[in-house]
Structure 1
Amino acid sequence: MGYGKILSVEPGSLAEELELVPGDKIIEVNGMKLRDIIDLSFAFADEEIDMLVEHENGDQEMLEFDKDYDEELGVEFESAVFDGIRKCANNCYFCFVDQVAPGMRESLNIKDDDYRLSFLYGNFVTMTNMVDNDFKRIKQYHLSPLFVSVQCTNPELRCQILRCKTAGNLMTQLDKLEKADVEYHTQIVLCRDLNDGEELDRSIRDILARKPHALSMAIVPVGLTKFRQDKYPLKGFDRESALKVIEQVERFQKQEREATGRTFVYLGDEFYFLAGKEVPPAEVYDGFPQLDNGIGLARNFMEEFSSARNDVELQPKGYDRKFRLAVVTGTAVAPMFRKLADELAVENLDVTIVPVPNNHFGTTVNVSGLLTAHDMKSAMDALKDGFDGILIPESALRAGDNIFLDDVSLDDFKSWFHGRVETVGDGKDYFNALTDFENYQGVNGEAAAYMWQSNAAYTKRGGHNNE
């Protein structure tokens, strides 16, 4: 068992009334040892509380108090799991964490595979490190929905891809979730000539057969960086192979929409970018159930931009002089940013789109969320032009301290340029920044946060802007 170490206390909260301060540790509640904030939430549902707290000086104190049933403590903890993040037991062919450059910030090297983070934050788990007690706890607390990394449903192939002898138990583990009435979203990291083709057909059919507990399936292309050292010869997707995947999956999508009115199985945006095809319309994404996994990000961004453009209160007023704005973005979505900017008729606005090659990870990595500060600076320096304003992707920053992947702070990054630098998160942000940059403000200290995971590279918590 562990403890919950308090990071901050909300003003006016019950915790402030109890005189709790950052650094205090909550050891147990009503005699219950705490493994995570899930335990704390259930224990704190009682109205009469005995809470054991250890202060920074090592002294322990039992706090006894009454509270309303739905009254929260009002603290932020250093971690959601008090007994430590459960590490990944696999050695996947495609593990993105193993492909991170040396010398980058420590958090990027954490290989989590923790069902609690799946429930709390939507991180994908393979379930290869789970035992019967984990499934009993999932049932007891009804931790639903979860997010499951399937990769493939062929047990032998799954063991091979994950390099884990328990990986072939997937279908039995899904049976346990369903018996506990737990719903789950699924994901496949698709590797060319490995779990695609007939294996992908099999995986889609197997998961479709598990509705209604299976809520959705996301298929994302494998990400390969220049730092990958695994000897297994993985291949990325090109235009022809991406188009083949799209055509294959579209058959299932059409079948599902005709039968149920929902698409169920969705492709990551990168497949459409690689194939040179438009991303599907918004209705295909059924409300974007896997937006944080990169499914429908581009379409959602465009929808937000369009909504802002149609808002009569947000009509562009124009600039009273020539105003030069640089928009820094990943190479994959640069055409989308150009197209949206061209749709606006903003007087005196000159927009330069700056696609940034990812020299740090390798140019095959083309999403904005994995750009480093130094690569963005290099792309801007190459222009040798001055700009009144510079827009950068919010997704490239870590929350709270606003740090780029290469450990450069946002403040330091801003100091490199003469023009004002602001961040863009969603489509509405982009519209507001283009049309009224002088009054636009980007992220603050409460920006969205990366939740890294070994089986899907990363996901974004609190925002939808990995593009």
Structure 2
Amino acid sequence: MSAPRVVAVAPASPAAVAGVLPGDEILALNGERPRDVISYQLLADEPEILLDVNRGGLELTLEVHKRAGEPLGVEVHTALFDQVRTCDNHCEFCFIYQLPRGLRESLYVKDDDYRLSFLYGNFTTLTRFTEADLERVVTERLSPLHVSIHTTDPQRRAEILRNRRGATSLRWLRALLDHGIEVHGQIVVCPGVNDGDVLDDTLAGVLDQYPELATVCVVPLGVSRYNTETRMRAHTPAEAGAVLAAVHDWQEVYRAVLGRRLVFAADEYYLLAGEPFPPAEAYEGFPMHEDGVGMARAFELEFDGAGTRPMAPRSGFFAWLEGAPAEGYRASRRGEPAGEELPVRPGAPVGVITGTYGARVLEPIIARLGRGDVRIIEVRNEFFGGNTGVAGLLVGADIHRALRRQPAGHRYLLPDVCLSRGRFLDGSTPDELPRPVEVVATNGAALRAALEG
């Protein structure tokens, strides 16, 4: 166990009044050593706290006085103070196995930690879940959790996860649901492996065994150019259409039996199959927005000002391992504010930077504006290659190459979803791009405001 290190103290907060300083290591709160930000938060909610800290080798005890539940005002450096529970599955489709060498170390860490599922929406297979974990989740009401299902057939699930415990670990899903924990499920569909009849059997198994699930999202596997698994390949348009047909059929079954659709297909499937996105009401409140389900339709509604509250996507690719900011314990996207703001050039033509999937979503939306001064700059992801087309996985090198061919003096809007703490996945920053860019929040309202600014 390592002690959480203070990285920021809110001015005039109870911690600031008590004398807590950035760099302090928090050893204990009221004599108890926290193991993660979850237990830390529970301890910090107390009105009277004796805070044991290590300040440069000197151990101090600070007295904190505040109202019960009032924020302590401290931001710590990481979410977990003990070790991340890493994943011992060896899934063929795992994107971490498909990363190039030379990226920062944190990107190669595979987690299967229920705490990160609760904090950040990461999906866990439950193959390393224990009785003690169940007791804590139920006692502390760590809900919602997010569980990777992939298939409900025990032997096939063990095969897909390449872990014999995959055959039995969904018993924990049943236990979580029995105790009233909200759980969102995910099925990564691999062509020729768990699509077709297997997908139908899985969705039937969900209805039979886990009907209390809050939602189930069906997503296509991502294949980078570094993939070495011969069975793993991208969907064909026909295969994507077949997955959509299965999802839509089962939505009707679930509606008839449960009164809700329960299962939803990721936006990528509609783009791959060339089919229109469902109407907004078909997403039943966009509960899986952060997992790529309904993002395009929600973005359109936000852009048109149709009353939908902008939905901020969760932190970027593996950003959870970089730290634990106090607000939502999610890493900031933009990093430290720049020394000076970029000048806004009224009347200058505008280029909207996005990935290949984003371009197909944005083009009809932008076209409705009837403005010849706004264009989409589609950036192909050559860094990862394969079928990688989402804006969230764009890297500085690919954007650099695209902007090098663009004229100077224009405005260039960059979605913040491709940044984590101000950096792209390849470690570069927006300041290194050949044209100045304006970083814009990844929602329709923010893009509309930037275009009208």
Please, what TM-score do these two structures have when normalized by structure 1?
A: 0.84
Alignment match, 2:336: none
Structure 2 CA distance for partners of 1:213 and 1:144, relative to 1, 3 Å: farther
> For residues 321 and 9 of structure 1, do their structure 2 counterparts lie closer, same or farther at Cα, with a shift above 3 Å needed?
closer
Determine if contact 2:430/2:437 at 8 Å carries over to the other structure. no
Please list, as runs of the form range in 1=range in 2, the aligned pairs for 1:252-271 lying within 5 A after superposition.
252-271=250-269
- The SS at the match of 2:164 is coil
- Of 334, 359, 371 in structure 1, the residue corresponding to residue 394 of structure 2 is 371
2:350 and 2:50 map into 1 onto residues whose CA distance is: 57
Q: 1:77 to 1:322 in 2, by over 3 A?
A: closer
Q: Could you say which residue in structure 2 is the equivalent of 1:158?
A: 157
Measured in 2, the distance between the counterparts of 1:305 and 1:404 equals 25
Residues 17-42 of structure 1, C-alpha deviations (whole Å, 9 max, x = no match)? 11111121112222322111111222
Cα displacement (A) at 1:156: 0.9
Specify the code of the residue in structure 1 equivalent to 2:388: V
Contact 1:153 1:170 in 2 (8 A): no
Counterpart for residue 461 of structure 1 = none
User: Is the deviation greater in 36-45 or in 288-297?
Assistant: 36-45
C-alpha separation in 2, matches of 1:354 and 1:65:
52
2:373 and 2:260 map into 1 onto residues whose CA distance is 41
Q: 1:364 to 1:72 in 2, by over 3 A?
A: same
Provide the residue aligned with 1:100 in structure 2: 99
Matched residue, 1:283: 281
2:314 — aligned with what?
none
Question: CA 1:2/1:134 → structure 2, altered by over 3 Å: closer, same or farther?
Answer: farther
Equivalent position of 2:414 in the other structure: 392
Match of 1:219 in 2: 218
The aligned counterpart of 1:303 is: 301
1:424 Cα deviation (Å)? 4.6
Which residue number in structure 1 is paired with residue 357 of structure 2?
332
Q: Report the Cα distance in structure 2 between the residues aligned to 1:320 and 1:180, rounded to whole angstroms.
A: 56
Offset from partner CA, 1:313-349 (integer Å, 9 cap, x none): xxxxxx9986321122111121221211111145xx5
**Closer, same or farther in 2 for the Cα pair 1:51/1:211, shift >3 Å?**
same
Instruction: Look up the match of 1:172.
Output: 171
Structure-2 change in CA distance of 1:24 and 1:212 (3 Å):
farther
**Larger displacement relative to structure 2 (158-167 or 59-68):** 59-68
Query: Which residue in 1 is equivalent to 2:316?
Result: none
C-alpha change, 1:421 and 1:179, in structure 2 (3 Å) is closer
- What does the per-residue CA deviation read over 1:80-102, in whole Å, with 9 as the maximum and x for residues that have no partner? 11113221111111111111111
Gaps spanning 5+ residues in structure 1: where? 312-318, 437-467
Counterpart check, 1:26 vs 2:20: no
> 1-side partners of 2:232 and 2:147: how far apart?
22
* Superimposed CA distance per residue, residues 364-404 of structure 1 (whole angstroms, 9 cap, x where no aligned partner): 21111111112122223345x445211222211113xx101
**Inter-partner Cα distance in structure 2 for 1:309 and 1:14:** 37
Query: Structure 2 CA distance, aligned partners of 1:61 and 1:158?
Result: 51
Structure 1 partner of 2:322: none
Give the length in aligned residue pairs.
419
What SS class does the counterpart of residue 304 from structure 2 fall into? helix
Long gaps (5+) in structure 2: 310-343
Change (3 A) 1:182 1:18: same
CA-to-partner distance for each residue in 1:47-100, whole Å, 9 max, x for gaps? 332332222x22222334443211221111111111132211111111111111
Q: Judge conservation of contact 2:144–2:182 (CA < 8 Å) in 1.
A: yes
- Asked whether the equivalents of residues 18 and 63 of structure 2 are also in contact (C-alpha less than 8 Å), the reply is no
User: Judging changes above 3 Å, is the alpha-carbon distance between structure 1 residues 93 and 420 closer, same or farther for their aligned structure 2 residues?
Assistant: closer
* Cα distance change on mapping 1:213 and 1:27 into 2, 3 Å: farther
Letter in 1 for 2:8: S
Q: Could you tell me how far 1:267 is from its partner in structure 2? A: 0.6
Structure 1 or 2: more strand by fraction: 1
User: How far 1:196 moved relative to its partner?
Assistant: 1.2
* 1:246-280 deviation line (CA, Å, top 9, x unaligned): 11111011223345442210111111000011111
Distance 1:412 1:382, change over 3 A: closer
One-letter amino acid of the counterpart of residue 389, structure 1: R
The answer (yes or no) to whether the contact 2:9–2:22 under 8 Å persists in 1 is yes
